[in-house]
A and B are shown apart, each in its own frame.
Chain A
Amino acid sequence: MALFMLLLHGDNSGFAKLSPEEMQKATEKYMAWTKKPFTRDSHRLAGEPGRVIRMEAGKPSIKDGPYSETKEVLGGYYTIEAANYDEAVKLALENPQLEYGGSIEVRQVYGT
């Protein structure tokens, strides 16, 4: 088994029009994902602003960010087990992120 990261990108606009009942349904769907047998780990990242550090003229510059140009930001990630990319993608297709207008980046993680 290999490990894959599912990086969840989105801008929350998919949730804006949901009713409380639908919000609950969405919460339950994401909750279910943290308990899937293939899910190793799951985390949510706090909202913006985080900090972006880069070197500028030889000195570290620390700024609030990332305030990405594209509206979608990295909101959280799962580490899942799958045999290969094909299976990882197949599992990711079931993730609620897609239903609510976000996108998922699937990347293999080295290590076990």
Chain B
Amino acid sequence: MSPEPSAGVLLDHLFRHQAGRMVAHFTRLLGPARMDLAEEVVQEAMLRALQTWPYTGVPENAPAWLFRVAHNAAIDALRRSHLAQEKTESLVAELSSSLTPQEDPDLEEQLRDDELRMIVMCCHPEIPRDAAVALSLKTVGGFGVREIARAFLADDAAIAQRLVRAKRQIRDRRLTLEMPRGAELEHRLDSVMEVIYFMFNEGYAAHEGEELIRADLCLEALRLGQLIAASSIAVPKVHALVALMAFHAARLRARTDESGDLVLLDSQDRSRWDSRLIAIGFHHFDRSISGDTVTSYHAEAAIAATHARAPHPDATDWPMILEFYDHLLAMNPSGVVALNRAVALGKVHGADQALAAVDTLAKDPKLRDYYLLLAVRGHILLELARPGEAANCFRAALEKRCSAPERRFLERKLTECRERAA
């Protein structure tokens, strides 16, 4: 008889999370130029788990088991490789001196450091941002090519290409896992934050695509943000970014109803907001305030915090939010920010003013055809009891590229216009 397979179920995302830290760990030991080998031995460890755990049960310390198998696979691979004998032996010695998690309490610390160095390297300015995001997800995040492709609505081959190019950059430019210092660190940190925020927004944006994997993207961005916030390289703006992501992530499950339809902030059931994430948000928000630099992350976090503080929509401090938007717009004069500001303006000074602001924005040819601008304009016109014109806006918005839930949302609005006109 085979031993009774352990009743223990695998922790959610155990493989993904372990894969991320293992790849970071073995890349440090083997060197960034051998990142592919690091990924291979991690894959091999997972395969071994797949082949044995169903029959032997899940080992008591599953992460340590995976580490040990990957570790042995790395040594085997090095011995089989065509590296010079000396080089092989020095790498094997290096590997052998690294302990498995169960044997060394400091290793947890070391692993966090490995992950941190890895993400900092992946976000090197020489690597294009798209590729840096894909590489970070693949290596530190433990995502597969297909999952990254699904999250970005790209095809597998395009993502695989992006990864190959990023790894080539790492080899050709001999990038290391050494932590940059001084001004270079500051610069790099900006690029790390950009990559993380980009990752988060890709997950958050209500494009089409598989919802689950996109929420995973948000949570991974949040995890990476927290990793950096907890490290020695953290500065106040990192906390602002983490706060901002935590506040938004808290609302993820309230943003859609049972049928997957979009629910706007005002109509969300606030009891479905994730209070744990909101608490994390405030924790980091408090830490973001120290220091004297104010970044756009600060302004965005402040806006999100103001929403999070309101127990119901009517309790929202819109004048405060408008003020934050003014700051944000001064730092980041983008059309999307201006559009959001127009909404806040309407809440404070009335729909007339909001309409005037949106119409000014619509003069910008880049924004004129943006479906969100059209949708916002329709919304304001409906508020001004001009359902005919509002309907025109929603119809025009429907002609633009948007996701299925957004489309259904616009169609519901159109129906509302017709009812109001009748």
Report how far A25 CA is from B132 CA in the complex, Å. Answer: 27
Is A15 touching B50 in the complex (CB atoms < 8 A)?
yes
Q: How many chain-A residues does the 8 Å CB contact rule pick out? A: 26
Partner of A19, one of B5, B53, B55, B146: B146
Does chain A have a CB within 8 A of B145?
Answer: yes
Given known A-B contacts A41-B2, A43-B2, A19 and B143 have beta carbons under 8 A apart: yes
Contacts of B46 in A (CB 8 A): 20, 23-24
Is B54 touching A24 in the complex (CB atoms < 8 A)?
no
Given known A-B contacts A30-B54, A34-B55, A41-B1, A12 and B47 have beta carbons under 8 A apart: yes
Does chain A have a CB within 8 A of B19?
Answer: yes
Contacts of B276 in A (CB 8 A): none
Does chain A have a CB within 8 A of B147?
Answer: yes
Does chain A have a CB within 8 A of B80?
Answer: no
Closest CB-CB distance, A25 to chain B, in whole Å? 9
Is A20 touching B5 in the complex (CB atoms < 8 A)?
no
Closest CB-CB distance, A108 to chain B, in whole Å? 21
Please, which residue of chain A has its CB at the minimum distance from the CB of B50?
Answer: A27
B residues 1-59 near A (Cβ < 8 Å) are 1-2, 5, 9-10, 13-16, 18-19, 42-43, 46-47, 49-56, 58
Interface residues as binary, A57-87 with B (CB distance below 8 Å gives 1, 0 otherwise): 0000000000000000001100000000000
Report how far A33 CA is from B50 CA in the complex, Å. Answer: 13
Does chain B have a CB within 8 A of A48?
Answer: no
Report how far A17 CA is from B43 CA in the complex, Å. Answer: 9
Q: By DSSP majority rule, is chain B's interface helix, strand, loop, or mixed? A: helix
Closest CB-CB distance, B367 to chain A, in whole Å? 38
Closest CB-CB distance, A26 to chain B, in whole Å? 6
Partner of B144, one of A22, A31, A33, A42: A22
Is B142 touching A31 in the complex (CB atoms < 8 A)?
no
A residues 1-44 near B (Cβ < 8 Å) are 12, 15-24, 26-28, 30-31, 33-35, 41-44
Is A23 touching B54 in the complex (CB atoms < 8 A)?
no
Is A30 touching B50 in the complex (CB atoms < 8 A)?
yes
Is A33 touching B54 in the complex (CB atoms < 8 A)?
yes
Closest CB-CB distance, B170 to chain A, in whole Å? 21
Contacts of B14 in A (CB 8 A): 24
Contacts of B55 in A (CB 8 A): 34, 42-44, 76
Report how far A42 CA is from B16 CA in the complex, Å. Answer: 27
Please, which residue of chain B has its CB at the minimum distance from the CB of A21?
Answer: B16
Is B144 touching A19 in the complex (CB atoms < 8 A)?
yes
Is A28 touching B2 in the complex (CB atoms < 8 A)?
no
Contacts of B1 in A (CB 8 A): 41
Closest CB-CB distance, A80 to chain B, in whole Å? 14
Is A19 touching B50 in the complex (CB atoms < 8 A)?
no
Is A19 touching B145 in the complex (CB atoms < 8 A)?
yes
Contacts of B56 in A (CB 8 A): 44
Most B Cβ at <10 Å: residue of A20, A22, A28, A30: A20
Closest CB-CB distance, B62 to chain A, in whole Å? 10
Closest CB-CB distance, A16 to chain B, in whole Å? 8
Residues of B within 8 A of A (CB): 1-2, 5, 9-10, 13-16, 18-19, 42-43, 46-47, 49-56, 58, 142-147
Q: Which 5 A-B pairs have the closest CB atoms?
A: A19-B144, A30-B54, A20-B19, A24-B15, A20-B15
Residues of A within 8 A of B (CB): 12, 15-24, 26-28, 30-31, 33-35, 41-44, 47, 75-76
